[in-house]
Chains A and B, each alone.
Chain A
Amino acid sequence: MYDFLLLALLAGLAVAVVAGPLGCLVVWQRMAYFGDTLAHSALLGVALGLWLSVGSGVAVTLVCLAVAAMLTVLERKQGLATDTLLGILAHTFLAGGMVALALAPGGRPGIEALLFGDILTVTGTEVLVMWSASLALLAVLAGCWRPFVALTVHQDLAMVEGAAGKHQKLILRLLLASLVAISMKIVGVLLVTALLIIPAAAARRFSRSPEQMAVWAGVVAAVSVALGLALSWFGDVPAGPAVVLSAAGLFLFAGRGRQLGA
């Protein structure tokens, strides 16, 4: 009878192990707003999925990847600052998504599930898909880790030294887009960024190298998922927000622990 809880935990962990390390890069490169933009655009993906009667996972992934690519192209062409472009993209896609959802044929998914996630209804097949995606993302992330760190530290220097290539920035964005797509079901559109940022911020407090921080962020994210599900089970509160609150709690705890230790 606890099958659904176990599935929820497995699904949450699939997202957590990628969200931790990837979140570190988001924090280091100040990409939080980009994460939000992707998440907002995901709504349009859901609507598109209904229109084209394909799985929402596929449609969301495609829309997120398209947004990531669009941003890269616009950045090269337009003279606008990245955060302005992100503002335009995020809200255009959010509004477009809402309109498309209202006009979508057939049964509309509950808006609340889209905004805050619906981890407790995850199916066995979905868990399998999520883990496959998550392991694939981890493999790419591990393969590109050194160039990503090199780019974070100093972009020009990394390029001159050949420590990073031209496409690394795009690869990072595509990774993030894919993660947003798979974590929609877990924490929803509004809370995706939290799962990236908060564990990384907590891990910063007890890390001395980029790699340590990546591992600790993964651990914090995983513990947040477990804690959040427990909170949801015993306290009868929505699971997605409970996961995010757990992460925030761990962040505060990490800060205090460090103060006491110092």
Chain B
Amino acid sequence: MTSAALVDMHGVGKHYGDHVVLQNIDLEIEPRRIVTLIGPNGAGKTTLVKVLLGLTSPDTGSIHRSKDLRVGYMPQKLHIEPTLPLSVGRFLQIVERDKTACLQALERTGIGHLFKRPVQGLSGGETQRMLLARALLRRPNLLVLDEPVQGVDVTGQEALYRLIASLRQEFGCAIFMVSHNLHLVMAATDEVVCLNGHVCCSGTPNQVSTDPAFVALFGEKTAFYVHDHDHHHDIEHVPATGQSAPSRRAGDGHHV
């Protein structure tokens, strides 16, 4: 990678009143890299995403965004008021007036047939695909995905991750992704950043999963996450050893 980072953060901190949410965060997103942000609830993941997107400014530290940065953002939740008549097509036309381009983007994410459907009737997976299509319409070189598989069933989750991986191949964009779901994410990501107010550890999935800070934070919980998202008995009974567990489970995940 010779080109400069898309986003470069140094010593970023953020607090609400007395409550320190983020502290001394260094983060660099290089072109075409997949960076996954993990951390327990209340770790400041969403705040970090907002700082990265420029939706909120940090109290300390600095962010540098590359000049040609084009962000496609997929928010965690989409709530559309039932009083707002909005079709999937019109939802996309908020960013792109050209109908054909909108339809193409929907077809790329596998829901072209839903073009005229009201957004309120979509399932969790369909909603995520619609959001992804809207993000793609901006021809992003950085996709920011905040919990992309939330509210999607298990088989749907895997299909969605596969779609995201193939889009990244196709568009050559970097991905910054927030996730709870360790076992599916670990296999696909280049770099993991483990957040708990500050960056506890970061590196390749293998490096991180053996890092004491990671084990302290997730050692017990990884097993819980797997249990939560998977019905397979052989996986359910894997003891919570921490250490190399996440990557091994990610491997298992492919056979589901």
The answer to whether the Cβ of B229 comes within 8 Å of any Cβ in the partner chain is no
The answer to whether the Cβ of A70 comes within 8 Å of any Cβ in the partner chain is no
The answer to whether the Cβ of B138 comes within 8 Å of any Cβ in the partner chain is yes
Cβ-defined contact, B85 with A161, below 8 A = no
A115 to B140: give the CA distance in the assembly, Å.
53
Q: A154-B78, A156-B53, A156-B55 are in contact. Are A161 and B73 (CB under 8 A)?
A: yes
Q: Which of A159, A208, A209 is within 8 Å of B55, CB to CB? A: A159
Chain B window 85-129, contacts with chain A (Cβ cutoff 8 Å), 1 for yes, 0 for no: 111001100110000000000000000000000100000000000
A209 to B86: give the CA distance in the assembly, Å.
5
Residue in chain B with minimal CB distance to A203 = B85
Q: 24 A-B contacts, Cβ less than 8 Å apart?
A: A28-B81, A29-B81, A30-B81, A149-B94, A152-B81, A153-B91, A156-B50, A156-B53, A156-B73, A156-B75, A157-B73, A158-B94, A159-B55, A160-B55, A160-B73, A160-B144, A161-B95, A161-B138, A163-B95, A208-B85, A209-B86, A209-B90, A210-B86, A212-B85
Most B Cβ at <10 Å: residue of A27, A30, A156, A204: A156
A210 to B83: give the CA distance in the assembly, Å.
10
Name the interface size band of chain A.
20 to 34
A156 to B146: give the CA distance in the assembly, Å.
12
Cβ-defined contact, A160 with B94, below 8 A = no
Cβ-defined contact, A160 with B84, below 8 A = no
Cβ-defined contact, A153 with B87, below 8 A = no
Give A residues with C-beta under 8 Å from B: 27-30, 79, 146, 149-150, 152-154, 156-161, 163, 200-201, 204, 207-210, 212-213
> Shortest beta-carbon distance, A141 to chain B, in Å?
16
Cβ-defined contact, A150 with B94, below 8 A = yes
The answer to whether the Cβ of B54 comes within 8 Å of any Cβ in the partner chain is yes
The answer to whether the Cβ of B136 comes within 8 Å of any Cβ in the partner chain is no
Inter-chain contacts of A157 with B (CB < 8 A): 73, 75, 134
Q: A158-B94, A163-B94, A163-B95 are in contact. Are A153 and B86 (CB under 8 A)?
A: yes
Cβ-defined contact, A146 with B94, below 8 A = yes
Cβ-defined contact, A204 with B75, below 8 A = no
Inter-chain contacts of B86 with A (CB < 8 A): 153, 209-210
Residue in chain B with minimal CB distance to A79 = B17
The answer to whether the Cβ of B216 comes within 8 Å of any Cβ in the partner chain is no
Residue in chain A with minimal CB distance to B137 = A161
A149 to B85: give the CA distance in the assembly, Å.
11
Inter-chain contacts of B1 with A (CB < 8 A): none
Leading 6 A-B pairs by shortest Cβ distance: A160-B73, A207-B85, A28-B84, A150-B94, A27-B83, A160-B53
Name the interface size band of chain B.
20 to 34
Residue in chain B with minimal CB distance to A211 = B90
A29 to B79: give the CA distance in the assembly, Å.
12
Q: Which of B54, B83, B94 is within 8 Å of A153, CB to CB? A: B94
Residue in chain A with minimal CB distance to B17 = A79
Inter-chain contacts of A146 with B (CB < 8 A): 94
Inter-chain contacts of A79 with B (CB < 8 A): 17
Inter-chain contacts of A27 with B (CB < 8 A): 81, 83
A163 to B73: give the CA distance in the assembly, Å.
13
> Shortest beta-carbon distance, B37 to chain A, in Å?
17
Residue in chain A with minimal CB distance to B144 = A160
Cβ-defined contact, A153 with B55, below 8 A = no
A210 to B119: give the CA distance in the assembly, Å.
13
Q: Which of B53, B87, B134 is within 8 Å of A209, CB to CB? A: B87
A24 to B86: give the CA distance in the assembly, Å.
13
Cβ-defined contact, B83 with A209, below 8 A = no
The answer to whether the Cβ of B178 comes within 8 Å of any Cβ in the partner chain is no
The answer to whether the Cβ of B256 comes within 8 Å of any Cβ in the partner chain is no
Most A Cβ at <10 Å: residue of B55, B86, B94: B94
A42 to B171: give the CA distance in the assembly, Å.
54
Inter-chain contacts of B75 with A (CB < 8 A): 154, 156-157
The answer to whether the Cβ of B173 comes within 8 Å of any Cβ in the partner chain is no
A212 to B55: give the CA distance in the assembly, Å.
31
Residue in chain A with minimal CB distance to B49 = A156
> Shortest beta-carbon distance, B29 to chain A, in Å?
15
Most A Cβ at <10 Å: residue of B55, B83, B87: B83
Q: Which of B71, B80, B83, B87 is within 8 Å of A204, CB to CB? A: B83
Inter-chain contacts of B83 with A (CB < 8 A): 27-28, 200-201, 204
A262 to B118: give the CA distance in the assembly, Å.
17
Cβ-defined contact, A210 with B85, below 8 A = yes
A212 to B87: give the CA distance in the assembly, Å.
12
A161 to B95: give the CA distance in the assembly, Å.
7
